[in-house]
Chains A and B, each alone.
Chain A
Amino acid sequence: MTETSWPLWEVFIRTRNGGSHRHVGSLHAVDATMALHHARDAYARRGEGVSIWVVPSAAITASDPGDRDLLFEPAASKIYRHPTFYEVPDDVGHM
């Protein structure tokens, strides 16, 4: 194919009920404006959101799945970061 391949964009949508933008998929578009239009047509045909972000896929830096342990293992051993690590007498009630 000739010089027609369009760059890839990642689409994030914030739903009606607030919360953060969530990744919903990707699409090809020549620029950000077209990416927004395509995102509306492709990922929000049923009014799924109130706000769309489009980000060039090439701009995303992802961690290597091979580094999973390196990145996340230290958190797994710190069980004292979770509320259930601490004992509260039953008769205190819900806390």
Chain B
Amino acid sequence: MSIKALDSRNAATIAADREARFEARIGAEEKIEPNDWMPERYRHTLIRQIGQHAHSEIVGMLPEGNWITRAPSLRRKAALLAKVQDEGGHGLYLYAAAETLGVSREALVDQFLAGTAKYASIFNYPTLTWADIGAIGWLVDGAAIMNQVPLCRCSYGPYARAMLRICKEESFHQRQGYEIMVVLARGTPGQRSMAQDALNRWWWPVLMMFGPPDQESQHSDASMAWKIKRFTNDELRQKFVDATVPQAHYLNLTIPDRSLKFNAATGHWEFGQIDWDEFKRVIAGFGPCNAERMRVRRAAHAEGAWVREAAVAFARKRRAAAAAVEATPARAQAALG
């Protein structure tokens, strides 16, 4: 095509071509990389989703961090420390992935601390006993893995790569939780009832982790078409229930759902009605621990301000010292001692 012909094409045609090329690449399972052209809606959807995912990892450190000093043995304490440290690391991978879309770390953190960005509603529930640490690893991490494994095939390259790392590291999270549950379930009557109580409190909020039912999910359709999501909320929820019910039976614990029954024809476990009003209340900020979680995060950020500033000042001082050494070697060397 000649330069003249190119000039004569109007901007709208060029934009439509660009969008069509993008859709074709998505269709061909090609990864979209940071420097590639992408529709603004795709970019914004990813910034919102990856940002929320990162905030969730960071807030997710709080309910479990609460139990590090009270873990019942050194083995449990080391495992819990490693798990919480992983979650901080996972937050970092995800913030870094979001930053490749042109948003700054500071902007993401500011949105989160201002309360304008969401995080997973599950972390607004309290960890009342040690059994909750078992239940979180088994159920919350189990649900997270169910959600995250398909995200390893997400169309956006940096997000998919971050998810690969996260899924690899997270496999121990669920196992350490289930191990705690096994020990409690085989323990004294008091320990058994602690395990059952934790399951009773976490079961329904965990089912809500997969998000609203498909017919009400506002972001699902576009995300499926762009291959950011590979399965719908309801599909993932069903996969989770099917995988988890037998694990509860193995523990001889009872899932707190009277309607739960196995459908031999479909091969799926059918479950009862989820209380979506509760989900909406917690998302809106009125769960048992929303205020507490935000208070702790804001305080941590404010109290860490001097560290961030001091690190910048220290680096500046070292650069100045290094420059001085280069300018007048003998004198500067002596001054540095």
A residues with CB within 8 A of B = 1-6, 8, 24-28, 30-31, 34, 41-42, 45-46, 62, 64-65
> Are B89 and A42 within 8 A (Cβ)?
yes
> Are B35 and A30 within 8 A (Cβ)?
no
Q: How far is the CB of A68 from chain B (nearest CB, A)?
A: 10
Q: Which residue of B lies closest to A66 (CB)?
A: B37
* Interface presence of B40 (CB below 8 A): no
> Are A27 and B92 within 8 A (Cβ)?
yes
22 contacts between A and B (CB under 8 A): A1-B110, A2-B309, A4-B309, A4-B312, A5-B104, A5-B106, A6-B308, A6-B312, A25-B96, A30-B311, A30-B312, A30-B314, A30-B315, A31-B315, A31-B318, A34-B315, A42-B93, A45-B86, A45-B89, A62-B35, A64-B35, A65-B36
CA distance A4 to B105 in the complex (A): 11
CA distance A91 to B35 in the complex (A): 50
User: Residues 168-185 of chain B: 1 if any A CB is under 8 Å from the residue's CB, otherwise 0?
Assistant: 010000000000000000
> Are A3 and B312 within 8 A (Cβ)?
yes
In chain B, positions 113-145 with a C-beta closer than 8 Å to chain A are none
Residue of A8, A25, A34 with highest tally of chain B CB at under 10 A: A25
The secondary structure that dominates the B interface is helix
> Are A41 and B99 within 8 A (Cβ)?
no
Residues of B within 8 A of A27 (CB): 92, 96
* Interface presence of B198 (CB below 8 A): no
Residues of B within 8 A of A34 (CB): 311, 315
Partner of B311, one of A1, A6, A42, A46: A6
Residues of A within 8 A of B36 (CB): 65
CA distance A8 to B36 in the complex (A): 20
* Interface presence of B85 (CB below 8 A): yes
> Are A41 and B311 within 8 A (Cβ)?
no
Residues of A within 8 A of B99 (CB): 8, 26
Q: How far is the CB of A54 from chain B (nearest CB, A)?
A: 13
Q: How far is the CB of B17 from chain A (nearest CB, A)?
A: 13
* Interface presence of B305 (CB below 8 A): yes
CA distance A92 to B6 in the complex (A): 54
Closest A-B pairs by Cβ, 4 of them: A30-B315, A4-B308, A31-B315, A1-B106
CA distance A48 to B198 in the complex (A): 35
* Interface presence of B154 (CB below 8 A): no
Residues of A within 8 A of B93 (CB): 25, 42
Q: Which residue of B lies closest to A38 (CB)?
A: B92
Q: Which residue of B lies closest to A68 (CB)?
A: B36
> Are B305 and A4 within 8 A (Cβ)?
yes
* Interface presence of B33 (CB below 8 A): yes
CA distance A2 to B82 in the complex (A): 32
User: Residues 15-49 of chain B: 1 if any A CB is under 8 Å from the residue's CB, otherwise 0?
Assistant: 00000000000000000010110000000000000
Residues of B within 8 A of A46 (CB): 169
In chain B, positions 143-174 with a C-beta closer than 8 Å to chain A are 161-162, 165, 169
If A3-B309, A31-B315, A34-B311 are given as contacts, then 12 extra A-B residue pairs at C-beta distance below 8 Å, sorted by A number, are A4-B308, A4-B312, A5-B106, A6-B308, A8-B99, A27-B96, A30-B312, A45-B82, A45-B86, A64-B35, A65-B35, A65-B36
